[in-house]
Amino acid sequence: RQQRCIQAEGTFGIIKNDWQYNRIHRRGMENVENELYLICMGFNLMKYHQKKMRMILS
């Protein structure tokens, strides 16, 4: 039997471990999708901001 790794990959690992986001807080498919879209937008804005700050500081 193959053991699965418990560590999440990349983006999902950051959202789950660093942001302590472990569960969806909405009910219903449309609400869940909207919540995931908001999480992803927040993650992308964070990446954009970090990249912009690196460019300003260098």
Residue 36's pLDDT is 93
pLDDT at 37: 96
**Stated pTM of the model:** 0.74
Q: How does pLDDT run across 23-46, given as a tens digit for each residue? A: 889 999 999 999 999 999 999 999
pLDDT at 1: 64
Looking at residue 1, the DSSP 8-state letter turns out to be -
Mean pLDDT across the chain = 89
For residue 30, being part of any structural domain is answered with yes
CA–CA separation, 47 and 44 (whole Å): 5
Provide the domain count of the chain.
1
CA dist 27 and 42 (Å) reads 20
Domain of 34, in residue numbers: 10-57
The sign of the dihedral angle between the CA atoms of 43, 46, 48, 54 is: negative
